[in-house]
A = this chain, B = another copy of it.
Amino acid sequence: MTTPEPNARPGSAAGPGQLLHLIRSGEVRTRRELQARTGLSRSTVAARVDQLLREGLIREGGVDANLRGRPSTALVFDETRGAVLAADLGATHARAAVCDLGGRILAEHAQGFDIRQGPEASLAWLEATWRQLASSAGEPRILGVGLGVPGPVDFTSGRPENPPIMPGWHGYPVRDELVRRFGVPAFVENDANVMALGEFHAGFSGVPSFLFVKVSTGIGAGMVVGGELLRGADGGSGDIGHIRLGHPETGPVCACGARGCLAASASGGALVRRLCEAGLDATTTRDAVELARGGEPQAVALVREAGLLIGDVLATAVSLLNPRVLVVGGELVRAQDHFMSSLRERLYQRTQPLATRNLRILPSALGTRAGVIGAARLGIEELFSPEAVDRALAG
């Protein structure tokens, strides 16, 4: 590794890792722009770009037409030089994929799934599924693994932390087990966090403060500030489903065992239970949403009520965090206006106009793929972080 600059240490702000980051994000396209952006000399930029080219991390992508004066060769991150294994495990559904290094799905598989079968069986199923997907994607070079699970995760150790709906998973070394099975770096996160990451990179990567909320069988949130997930002290950030809006003794029973949680009234799981109690035919959150879409009055009323309750909690979240964009994902968004309009109504009602003046509230763009694309994105961002790249090039 050529290091003409004394500051070119692992993770240095203008090391090759940072140059790659700028190229990969699309913020800069030429050597000249890299110079302008980093303040590095022409020769240093040239040497580092050569190193990135030599390592195959970037390639020259033709002449950049946007520049005035002498045309420059555009530099592009080579998204095809490898792939990541990605999966989104839900309570009752799983989606696995092989994605290129731009987060595009090369092959995917989704099916019903029971998280309660525990980590060994789940990871065995995942391994088999991923191996099959890698085969049908033409056996790309697998560089890493990203996984989302429906509960709190200590990101550093990659172990679930007392997840209420994942019996048997508490403290299980999911990350280490993935590393052992695939021999590449692996990253494990809470599902709402990976969905937040997926949605953020799907069109909002310049946004300084971004909030995502997922309303499916369970409810969770993820926050991306300055491009980074906010993880909280115990990996429990975004766990808004178990805020107790209702009475702790007489409120409805939640999947976590407590009473009065937001999720006990406003989640897809709660909708299903209440529709069944009313004699309607609903087994999954999707069934409940379909009933609302079809105009079934009780389903519509319940979906609207869920939107109001979630709007209440989001009023506080938005006042606290002052995000620029709030994306709402999960199954309930598919109930469209019934859900989103009541959520917006309550959110605007409960916040002062200044808090929402510049706020965009949008339904998920990625839909049911937010989790798996976010899991891929988690893997990619960790694998190609400036620190990781500088370490790899130095080592």
A residues with a Cβ closer than 8 A to B are 6-7, 9-15, 38-40, 44, 152, 161-162, 164, 207-209, 221, 223, 225, 230-240, 242-245, 248, 256, 258, 261, 313, 315-317, 319-324, 349-352, 354-355, 357-359, 387, 390
Contacts and interface: CB of A to CB of B under 8 A. Distances in A.
Contact of A351 (B13, B38, B244): B244
Contacts of A245: 350
Contacts of A317: 316, 320
B316 A234 contact: no
A323 to B, nearest CB: 6
Give the number of copies in the complex.
2
B320 A234 contact: no
A110 to B, nearest CB: 29
B324 A243 contact: no
Contact of A243 (B7, B244, B315): B315
A321 B238 CA distance: 6
28 contacts: A7-B12, A7-B15, A7-B390, A10-B39, A12-B15, A164-B352, A208-B233, A209-B231, A209-B232, A225-B225, A232-B321, A232-B322, A233-B322, A233-B358, A233-B359, A236-B355, A239-B352, A239-B354, A242-B351, A242-B355, A243-B315, A243-B316, A243-B319, A243-B350, A244-B350, A261-B352, A317-B320, A320-B320
A174 to B, nearest CB: 18
